[in-house]
Amino acid sequence: MIHRQVILEVKALLNLSAISVNEIAIKMNFDDPSYLSRYFKRETGLSLSAYRQQQYSRNL
């Protein structure tokens, strides 16, 4: 349940803002942006950039 909430928050930050992955990692209390990237990919099956690109494409 906690993992789901973290992923929802990361997705919201990726969708609603142009902040960098590094800034998202800091905001979400990850020690390292690469750890956030691995965590996100493990939970969703997508990289952060692939998810952001997918959402951008949908909004066009």
pLDDT by residue (tens digit) across 24-50?
Answer: 999 999 999 999 999 999 999 999 999
> Which residues 6+ apart lie within 8 Å of 40 measured at CB?
7, 10, 46, 47, 48, 51
- Letter for the amino acid at 49? S
- The mean per-residue pLDDT over the stretch 2-10 comes to 94
Rounded to the nearest angstrom, the gap between the alpha carbon of residue 48 and the centroid of all alpha carbons in its chain is 5
C-alpha 14/C-alpha 25 separation (Å) is 11
C-alpha 36/C-alpha 30 separation (Å) is 6
The pTM of the whole model exceeds 0.95: no
- Letter for the amino acid at 34? S
